[in-house]
């Protein structure tokens, strides 16, 4: 039995995971702090690249995986995916049957979750085949491990607007326990889930000049 697990900030990885779950005709499960350890044979795990790294909230999930095999899919915004899949493959116990980077829009540029489904054709074949495959090693910027969450925090500001009703949804959905009714704290990794899921559009983000410059390049 196969199941598709995903972690997503602004919904891009969720869109890829939904597609895979449909194509593979499997369950789709979000990775949260309370997601039970998978009991299926194959876990397909979809997550985004954050600052050329694996998002911190899914590291405990990856380390606890004890399925027979796993497939790793990382979405990224077209800048650089670093060496994320190789690092994730090293982190997990199960044999990796497929691994692929999928380019989608960049969250910080307000781009959509659109991706090319044909990028997943080979992955789906490999998942169905179930043979172990080595995750490709790729180049990573030497500065990528230099306080990634801190770099996002100084590059992206989140502002609460007057339309906030203190409904608590952002507090409940934040993967880092980093926001209280629209006010983020220093644990925030700027995944922007709160911004995209606020039912009242009461959170907006802005980029610092240095982040704008970096993204433009
Ligand atoms: C905190 C953060 C860091 C990111 N770092 C990178 C990066 O290093 N390289 C890249 O190409 N895209 C980067 N992106 C863009 C995301 O990888 C891309 O938009 C992804 O599809 C978002 O998926 P999600 O909506 O499931 O979180 C970053 C986005 C965020 C929010
Ligand atoms: S989800 Fe939106 S409206 Fe609700 S508390 Fe958070 S910022 Fe306010
Ligand atoms: S507070 Fe920060 S970490 Fe939490 S959902 Fe919002 S952007 Fe993500």
Q: Convert the pLDDT of each residue in 126-147 to its tens digit.
A: 999 999 999 889 989 888 898 8
- Whether the pLDDT of residue 4 is over 80: the answer is yes
Counting ligands in written order, which one lies closest to the CA of residue 174? 3
Q: What is the pLDDT of residue 148?
A: 86
Counting ligands in written order, which one lies closest to the CA of residue 169? 2
CB of 42 closer than 8 Å to CB of 67: yes
208 CA distance to ligand 2 middle (Å): 23
| Alpha-carbon distances, residue 73 vs 44, 160, 163 (angstroms) | 8, 33, 36
Is the CB of 165 within 6 Å of ligand 2?
Answer: yes
Residue 154 neighbours by CB distance under 10 Å: 12
The residue whose CB lies within 8 Å of the most ligand 3 atoms, and thus the one to mutate among 10, 190, 196, 198, is 190
193 CA distance to ligand 2 middle (Å): 12
Secondary structure element (H or E) that encloses residue 75, with its range? strand 69-76
Alpha carbon distance 209, 93 (integer Å): 41
What domains, with CATH codes, occur in the chain? Answer: 2-129 (3.40.50.360), 148-216 (3.30.70.20)
Residue 6 neighbours by CB distance under 10 Å: 24
Instruction: Name the phi and psi angles at 160, rounded to 5.
Output: -90, 135
- Whether the pLDDT of residue 39 is over 90: the answer is no
Q: Tokens 């869109």 map to which residue? A: 15
Ligand 1, atom nearest to 102 Cα? 21
95 CA distance to ligand 1 middle (Å): 26
- Whether the pLDDT of residue 150 is over 90: the answer is no
User: Chain centroid to CA 215: how far?
Assistant: 19
In this prediction, residue 19 has a pLDDT band, given cuts at 50, 70 and 90, of very high
pTM: 0.97
Q: What angle do CA 128, 55, 158 make, to 5 degrees?
A: 130
* Buried/exposed 100-132: b ≥16 CB within 10 Å, e otherwise: bbbbbbbbbeeeebebeeeebeebbebbeebee
Q: Please write the tens of the pLDDT for every residue from 48-79.
A: 999 999 999 999 999 999 999 999 999 999 99
Segment 105-119 shows an average pLDDT of: 96
Counting ligands in written order, which one lies closest to the CA of residue 179? 3
Q: What is the pLDDT of residue 143?
A: 87
DSSP 150-169: HHHHHHEEEEE-TT-----H
Ligand 1, atom nearest to 16 Cα? 26
CB of 52 closer than 8 Å to CB of 111: no
Q: Please write the tens of the pLDDT for every residue from 156-190.
A: 999 999 999 999 999 999 999 999 999 999 999 99
């Amino acid at each position: 039995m196969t199941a598709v697990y995903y972690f997503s900030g602004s919904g891009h990885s969720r869109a890829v995971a939904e597609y895979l779950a449909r194509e593979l005709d499997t369950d789709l499960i979000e990775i949260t702090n309370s997601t039970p350890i998978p009991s299926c044979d194959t876990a397909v795990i979809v997550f985004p690249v954050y600052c050329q790294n694996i998002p911190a909230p899914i590291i405990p999930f990856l380390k606890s995986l004890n399925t027979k095999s796993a497939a790793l899919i990382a979405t990224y915004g077209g800048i650089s995916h670093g060496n994320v899949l190789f690092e994730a493959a090293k982190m997990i116990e199960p044999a990796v049957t497929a691994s692929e980077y999928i380019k989608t829009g960049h969250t910080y540029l307000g781009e959509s979750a659109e991706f090319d489904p044909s990028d997943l054709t080979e992955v789906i074949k490999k998942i169905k085949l179930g043979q172990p495959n080595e995750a490709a090693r790729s180049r990573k910027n030497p500065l990528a491990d230099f306080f990634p969450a801190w770099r996002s925090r100084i590059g992206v500001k989140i502002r609460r607007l007057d339309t906030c009703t203190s409904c608590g949804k952002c507090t409940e959905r934040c993967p880092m326990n980093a926001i209280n009714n629209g006010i983020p704290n220093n644990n925030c990794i700027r995944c922007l889930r709160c911004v995209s899921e606020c039912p009242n559009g009461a959170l907006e983000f802005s980029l610092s000049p240095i982040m704008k410059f970096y993204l433009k390049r």
